[in-house]
Structure 1
Amino acid sequence: MKFKPLHDRVLIEVLDSSEKTAGGIIIPDT
């Protein structure tokens, strides 16, 4: 899984919530 998060916080939230759309797009809970 490779992507460039706008902020390290986004990456942490993604790993914590593991929220993804069917297309695989990461949707952090902001």
Structure 2
Amino acid sequence: MSDLNQFRSKGPELLVELAQHTSETVRGDY
């Protein structure tokens, strides 16, 4: 259960990093 709690606390940060990386990749492709 501790892993799930860690994922919940880190989830938003990971989503932000993923969104930033995706936007950078899209800009680079186009």
TM-score range, shorter chain: 0.3 to 0.5
Q: Which has the higher contact order (CA 8 A, sep 6+)?
A: 1
Q: TM-score, normalised by structure 2?
A: 0.34
Higher gyration radius (CA): 2
TM-score (norm. length: structure 1): 0.34
